[in-house]
């Protein structure tokens, strides 16, 4: 069974935090906490920017780095893609080519270049490095 985990940027200091996700519709706030399998202390529940939340895909790249949605990678041809979730699967979204490929088919050999929320400019241009 795949581990379900998220990451998001803290509202108070902008640092990335990893863990389980909690959205409170009444307040519209999004929180992260370290472990869904145990009772957590109130101090462990961290407000995060919902626009920065990414889900762990269950896949790691060749360096062992965990792949999350909104990560940007460069494939073996030098074209950049963003990790996304579409049609019930994690995909490599090539925005300049309007195509989606199952992430599992193109993550091997691809190089991590950034996170969309920190570096959206990495996807500008024709998609080549």
User: Phi/psi class of residue 103: alpha, beta or left (left: φ > 0; alpha: ψ in -120 to 50)?
Assistant: alpha
Q: Which CATH class is domain 57-123?
A: mainly beta
Contact in structure between 6 and 18 (CB atoms under 8 Å)? yes
127 confidence band (pLDDT: 50, 70, 90): very low
Q: What digits encode the pLDDT tens for the residues 2-58?
A: 678 999 999 999 999 999 998 889 988 999 987 765 666 777 789 999 999 999 999
Q: Where are the domains of the chain?
A: 6-52, 57-123
Q: Is the pTM of this model over 0.75?
A: yes
Q: In which order are the strands placed within the sheet that holds 80-86?
A: 99-102, 89-94, 80-86, 71-74, 111-115
Predicted confidence (pLDDT) at residue 129 exceeds the cutoff of 70: no
pLDDT tens digits along 85-126: 998 999 999 988 888 899 999 999 999 999 998 988 888 865
């Amino acid at each position: 069974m795949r581990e379900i985990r998220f990451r998001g940027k803290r509202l108070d200091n902008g640092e990335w935090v990893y863990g389980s996700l909690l959205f409170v519709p009444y307040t519209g706030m999004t929180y992260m906490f370290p472990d869904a399998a145990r009772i957590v202390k109130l101090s462990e529940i961290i407000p995060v920017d919902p626009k920065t939340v990414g889900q762990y895909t269950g896949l790691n790249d060749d360096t062992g780095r965990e792949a999350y949605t909104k990560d940007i990678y460069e494939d073996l041809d030098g074209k950049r893609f963003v990790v996304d979730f579409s049609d019930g699967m994690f995909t490599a979204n090539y925005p300049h080519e309007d195509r989606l490929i199952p992430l599992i088919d193109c993550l091997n050999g691809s190089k991590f270049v950034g996170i969309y929320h920190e570096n959206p400019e990495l996807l500008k241009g024709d998609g080549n490095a």
